[in-house]
Amino acid sequence: MTSSSSHRRSRTQLVVLPGDGIGPEIAAATVQVLALVDREFSLGLELETRTVGLAALAREGTTFPPGILEACRAADGVILGPVSHLDYPPRAAGGINVSAELRIALDLYANVRPSRSRPGLPSYGRTPLDLVIVRENTEGFYADRNMHAGSGEFMPTPDLALAVRKVSAQASERIARAAFGLAAHRRKHVTAVHKVNVLTVSEALFLREVRAVAADNPEIVYDEQLVDAMAALLVRDAARFDVLVTTNMFGDILSDEAAELAGSLGLAAAINAGDTHGIAQAQHGSAPDIAGRDRANPTALILSVAMLLQWIARTGNRDELARGAATIDAAIESVLADAATRTADLGGPLGTRAFADAVCAAIARQLA
Catalytic residues: 142, 195, 228, 252, 256
Nearest to 242 by CA among 303, 190, 306, 297: 190
- Compute φ and ψ for 197, nearest 5 degrees: -70, -20
Instruction: Show the 3-state SS of 27-43.
Output: HHHHHHHHHHHHHHHCC
Q: What is the DSSP letter of 226?
A: E
Cα dist. 304→20, 29, 108, 170, 339 in Å?
17, 13, 15, 27, 22
Q: 224 near 192, Cβ under 8 Å? A: yes
Q: Residue 245: phi, psi to the nearest 5? A: -125, 135
Q: Is 108 exposed, middle or buried (0-12, 13-18, 19+ CB in 10 A)?
A: buried
Kindly list the distances between the CA atom of residue 69 and the CA atoms of 53, 121, 307, 328, in Å, as whole numbers in the listed order.
14, 39, 21, 28
Closest-CA residue to 38 (of 363, 296, 365): 363
Pairing of strands 243-246, 271-273: unpaired
Q: Is 107 left (phi over 0), alpha (psi -120 to 50) or beta?
A: left
Element (H, E) at 24: helix 23-41
Question: What letter would DSSP give residue 84?
Answer: -
Residue 61 per-residue DSSP state: S
Decide if 106 contacts 72 (C-beta within 8 A): yes
